[in-house]
């Protein structure tokens, strides 16, 4: 079984990346794991042309297909997203928008194989869980349109820098046991 863990932040060395590393390490004893960063891929914003609504393919040619191939490879997908102004980062939102060809919102549409399980981890710098819940909601909405089963989520508040993750490792490891 394969597990894909995605750093949905463009920062490759921060708190989100550290959580991705921990999750990948924890899952590697049970899964073939692959961890990537959203910024590893070069893609453009959705142009809103809706050609994908009739062709099930995006008119743009860039790395979205490569990242969707990673989704296809995976049996388990863990999306780890920080809060940027109380929501997911723009790069991650741009990717979600570009996944319209694979979403069940129109026919015809492309699709990923059925039976995939999706997990969400959200982190934010402030103390309130509401922002984490909003991020998790965005990820679960995305999973729903890809027909990926939502299987669990974790919200981590008061995490701004990589060093703050150290005190949360127990929570992260415990969450990984459910994956």
| Span 66-76, pLDDT tens digits | 999 999 999 99
Q: Quote the domain boundaries for residue 8.
A: 2-177
**What digits encode the pLDDT tens for the residues 101-153?**
999 999 999 999 999 999 999 999 999 999 999 999 999 999 999 999 999 99
Sorting pLDDT into bands at 50, 70 and 90, what band is 23? Answer: very high
Cis ω for the linkage preceding 14 (within 30 of 0): no
What span, in angstroms and rounded, lies between the C-alpha atoms of 117 and 22? Answer: 19
SS3 5: strand
CATH code: domain of residue 133: 3.40.50.360
pLDDT (0 to 100) of residue 57: 94
> How many domains does the chain fold into?
1
DSSP string, 28-41: TTTSEEEEEEGGGS
pLDDT class of 17 with cuts at 50, 70, 90? very high
In angstroms, the CA 125 to CA 154 distance is: 15
Q: How far apart are alpha carbons 111 and 94 in whole angstroms?
A: 18
Report pLDDT for 87.
95
CB-CB contact of 5 with 35 (8 Å): yes
Given a contact cutoff of 8 angstroms between Cβ atoms, the answer to whether 71 and 79 are in contact is no
| Nearest of 21, 135, 6 to residue 82 by alpha carbon | 135
Q: Specify the pLDDT at position 86.
A: 93
Please check whether residue 44 is in contact with residue 147, taking contact to mean a CB–CB distance below 8 angstroms: no
For the full predicted model, state whether its pTM sits above 0.95. Answer: yes
Torsion of the alpha carbons at 39, 87, 134 and 14, rounded to the nearest 10: 50
Over range 30-35, report the average pLDDT.
Answer: 98
Instruction: Return the pLDDT at 104.
Output: 95
Strands 76-82 and 117-123: parallel
pLDDT tens-digit profile of 149-175? 999 999 999 999 999 999 999 999 999
Residue 13's pLDDT is what? 95
């Amino acid at each position: 079984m394969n597990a894909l863990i995605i750093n949905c932040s463009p920062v490759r060395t921060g708190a989100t990346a550290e959580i991705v590393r921990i999750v990948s390490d924890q899952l590697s004893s049970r899964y073939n794991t692959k961890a990537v960063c959203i910024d590893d891929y070069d893609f453009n914003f959705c142009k809103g042309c809706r050609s994908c609504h009739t062709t099930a393919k995006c008119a743009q040619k860039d790395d979205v297909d490569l990242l969707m191939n990673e989704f296809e490879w995976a049996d388990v997908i863990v999306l780890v997203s920080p809060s940027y102004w109380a929501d997911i980062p723009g790069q991650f939102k741009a990717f979600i928008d570009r996944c319209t060809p694979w979403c069940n919102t129109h026919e015809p549409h492309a699709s990923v194989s059925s039976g995939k399980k999706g997990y969400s981890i959200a982190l934010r710098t402030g103390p309130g869980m509401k922002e984490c819940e909003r991020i998790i909601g965005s990820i679960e909405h995305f999973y729903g349109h890809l027909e990926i089963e939502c299987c669990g989520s974790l919200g981590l508040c008061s995490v701004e820098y990589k060093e703050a993750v150290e005190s949360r490792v127990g929570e992260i490891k415990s969450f990984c046991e459910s994956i």
